[in-house]
Each structure stands twice: as structure tokens, then as C-alpha cells.
Structure 1
Amino acid sequence: MKKTILVLLLSAAGFIAVWRFEPSPPESVAVAQPRTSTPTASGAAAGATEVTLLGSVERNRYGTVQVQLVFTGDKITDVRLLQEPDSGRGIAALPTLREEALRAQSANIDTVSGATQTSESYAKSLQAALDAR
């Protein structure tokens, strides 16, 4: 009788451990490829070249994030989102993250409360694009 109780308790503990297991998201894949386009005349000095850089693909439990940076001279003039999360609060945080990146002119941006994983993925993708420069 004592062995039966012990076996049932250990089985329940094993079941709970497996049930609560959450695999970690796959590691990021760096894909930073610079592309240079034609010179621009809008809002920039004459002869300034617009450079477009792709950030890495960053996966988290809510989806995938990938950004594209547009530089005119030494300044980040646009941050475009190529891949965005499928669900979660991170979707609503994306405009805030874009504004932060344009203001900071770097990947050193604040995380958005409630969207930590998306914010971290966004910053990693930004940093990969900046590193490719």
C-alpha cells in the first residue's frame, strides 16, 4: 500500500513537471545585409546617400521581429518593420519602439512595460543592423 502511494505521488509530480515545461525560443539568426540606394534630396544634405540595412530575425514566444534601418548620412531616418509578432502586447508596443529608436539613434532603447520580449527582440534586431554598418 505504501509503495502504491509513493508511485502515485511520483507520477503526479512527473506529470506536473512535463505539463509546466515551456521550451525556450530558438536562437536568433543574423541576417544583416547592407543595400545602398540612390542619393536623396529630401530633408538631407545634397549628395547624401541613403543606406538600408536589414536587422537580424529575432524570435520570441509571441512571434518574430525583424527591422530594417534607413540611414541618410550618419543619421537613422526610418525604422521599418519587416516581421512583427503574431500576438501579445508587443504588437501595440511597436510604434513606441520605433519612436524610441529614432530618438536614441541607437539600439539603446527602453523596453515597453508588458512587452518585454518583443522589446528585447526589437533591440537585438536593431543592433544587428547597426553592427552591419
Structure 2
Amino acid sequence: MHPLRKNRPLRRIVLASAATVSGLVMLLSLKPHTPATIVAAPAPAQASAPAASGGSDAAGGSPGGATDGSTGTRTVTGDSVQTRWGPVQVRITVGGGRITEVTAVAYPTDNPRDQEINSYALPALRREALTAQSAEIDSVSGATYTSDGYRRSLQSALDRARG
């Protein structure tokens, strides 16, 4: 006869407890997500001579802004926003009063899961920002933290571009 089928409930309780404790120990021994490092994309090449900007900062003294005087475009980098999985930072190009380009310059890439999420989230967030022409964009399902950081960095870049 099988040992668990005997009329000994204490034995079953002890074995069930031991299995539960073993499962919890294995679950808790999993390594947590490691903090992400900042990865910055290379700066886009300027179409014309940067001397046309007069050497002043286009963002009204704020760091992260540049103006191309010949075309009237302005490139501004938003704040780096720390999220649960790492920093998110956005750079925008504004021309003719419209957002013409949005680039994520920093985002979590520490592990394959971050890379997978950002491979679909960042293009979707970029499309949303270009369509909305503001930071009032929808979050991407499965990338809530990245979406929030993207939105906040985008808003700070827009504030600098207007100011």
C-alpha cells in the first residue's frame, strides 16, 4: 500500500508542508531583475553648419537643445526619467511648430526581456507621439513603465522646446 494512502494524516501534513516550503525556497531563490545601464544612441548628424545657431542653446538655457538656423528646426533632449527597470530619455526635433522626429536615446536594454519589450514599444510610442503632436499618448500594453518614462521625458522635451 502507498505510504500516503495509509490512515496517517500527520504524515500527509508533514509531506505537504515540506513540499510547500521547498517550493517557496526555490521561488525565492530566483534572481531579481538587475538594474539597467544607460545606453545612449549617437547624435543625429546636422544637415547644415552648426555655426548658424550662434552658439546659443535653443532650449532657452536648458541643456540638451540645438537649433539649425537655416531650416528653423530645433532638437531638444528631455529629462532622463528613472523607471523601475531603468532610465528612459527622449530627444525630439521640432520644425515649423510641429514634432518632426522623436528618438529614444536611453531605455532599458539590460536583458533579453527588456530588449523584446522595447523592440515593439518604442516604435509604437514614437508613432503615437508623432500623431498626437504632444505627450498625451497611450501606454503600450506590456510596457507600462517604459511608456510612463517615455511620456514624462517627451513632456520635458516639449516644455524645453517651447520655453
**TM-score category by the smaller chain?**
0.5 to 0.7
Give the structure with the larger strand fraction.
Answer: 1
Give the 3-state SS of the residue equivalent to 2:69 in structure 1: strand
Letter in 1 for 2:81: E
In structure 2, C-alpha distance between the alignment counterparts of 1:80 and 1:66, rounded to whole Å: 9
Cross-structure match for 1:114: 142
1:84 equivalent among 107, 129, 143:
107
TM-score between both structures, scaled by the size of structure 1: 0.66
Q: CA RMSD in A?
A: 2.2
- Which structure would you say has the larger Rg? 2
Cross-structure match for 1:128: 156
Cross-structure match for 1:10: none
In structure 2, C-alpha distance between the alignment counterparts of 1:111 and 1:98, rounded to whole Å: 11
Cross-structure match for 2:82: 59
Letter in 2 for 1:112: V
Give the 3-state SS of the residue equivalent to 2:90 in structure 1: strand
Residues 114/97 of structure 1: CA separation in 2 closer, same or farther (3 Å cut): same
Cross-structure match for 1:71: 94
TM-score between both structures, scaled by the size of structure 2: 0.55
In structure 1, C-alpha distance between the alignment counterparts of 2:158 and 2:63, rounded to whole Å: 9
Q: CA deviation at 1:32?
A: 5.2
Q: CA deviation at 1:92?
A: 2.5
Cross-structure match for 2:70: 39
Instruction: Indicate if the aligned counterparts of 1:66 and 1:82 stay in contact, CA closer than 8 A.
Output: yes
Q: Percent identity?
A: 45
